[in-house]
Structure 1
Amino acid sequence: MITNDGKIVGSVGGHFKDGKLAKWYDMGITIYETNTWDKHIGSQALKLYITYLFNLFDFPHLGLTTWSGNPRMMHVAEKIGMKQEARIRQVRFYEGKYYDSVQYGILRDEWK
């Protein structure tokens, strides 16, 4: 859960892309209400989550997948130091239009 001023405003979580092997973690974040966007809540929560994951697990890499229809999330990923690692073109279909799936990642050694 992500909170702001004592109110739940979003969530952060993820899944293992490699199943039971559990060495390839991909995360995501959701801020529910548009009136809480552009307040740096998402970037702060994502930074805390990445720090938590690197402290909890011995992963060399953490990933985040978003889509080209979400430029705010792409900006957050880049702002906190993640690098765009892959772009799968025109695979996300939303409201009659195709968008790219965009994958970001950061290595433990790159995280400050």
Structure 2
Amino acid sequence: MNKVAIRPIQKNDLFLLWELIYKEQAPEWKRWDAPYFPHQPMTYEAFLPQGETWCHADDIWVVTVNEEVCGIVTYYWEHEPSLWLEVGIVLHEAKHWGKGIGTVALTKWMTQLFTTIPLVRVGFTTWSGNERMIRVGEKLGMREEARIRKVRLFEGQYYDSVRMGVLREEWPF
């Protein structure tokens, strides 16, 4: 059984995070995480100043499976005065996909956020080509709140931008 956890990033996580995120020109995970935006690989030395800001940050944590770092969860303020927050998740290696790890990690992350920030709503934006992420949102009790049709171009095909969200009073976890 996989033990999924989330935790703040520590300095000793940075090299592995660099390898997972920035070492390759075209990592497989990028085909699912907003592939219509460019990905820029970088050297570890170039990554380090950015990575060090992630250590013990509130808005980016690591996802671990059996204590091995396998991804990240994040949030950003869409509009902080109204407490409009969006979350994200990336599991960087295909061996972790399709096993429910993302659902567990995002459940823990959203529970953390609802517990520590006086949020009314938590949401995320994905694209219609990432059916797994849409299913994760549905499993978490999220609703599709907006669909902007044919605005994401990937490999010559147009996809929809999909926004999903859940209100605090709807949060089932």
TM-score band w.r.t. shorter chain: over 0.9
Which of structures 1 and 2 has the bigger CA Rg?
2
**Alpha-carbon distance in 2 for matches of 1:11, 1:66:** 16
Normalised to the residue count of structure 2, the TM-score between the two structures is: 0.62
Q: Given residue 2 of structure 1, which amino acid in structure 2 is its aligned partner?
A: V
Provide the residue aligned with 1:61 in structure 2.
121
2:78 is aligned with 1:17: yes
Corresponding letter in the other structure for 1:17: E
Say which of 52, 72, 79 aligns to 2:132.
72
**Where does residue 164 of structure 2 map in the other structure?**
104
Q: Normalized per residue, which structure has more strand?
A: 1
1:7 aligns with 2:60: no
Runs (4+) off by over 2 Å: none
Give SS of 2:72's match.
strand
- Paired amino acid for 1:24: W
**Is residue 16–residue 22 contact of structure 1 (8 Å, CA) maintained in 2?**
no
1:21: Cα distance to partner?
2.5
- The residue correspondences of 1:39-50 to structure 2 (distance < 5 A) are 39-50=99-110
Normalization by structure 1: what TM-score?
0.94
The alignment-based identity, stated in percent, is: 44
Aligned partner letter, 2:77: F
| Structure 1 gaps, min length 5 | none
Q: State whether structure 2 residue 81 is matched by structure 1 residue 81.
A: no
Q: Number of residue pairs matched? A: 111
Q: For the aligned residues, what is the CA RMSD?
A: 1.1
Structure 1 residues 22, 16: CA separation in 2 closer, same or farther (over 3 Å shift)? farther
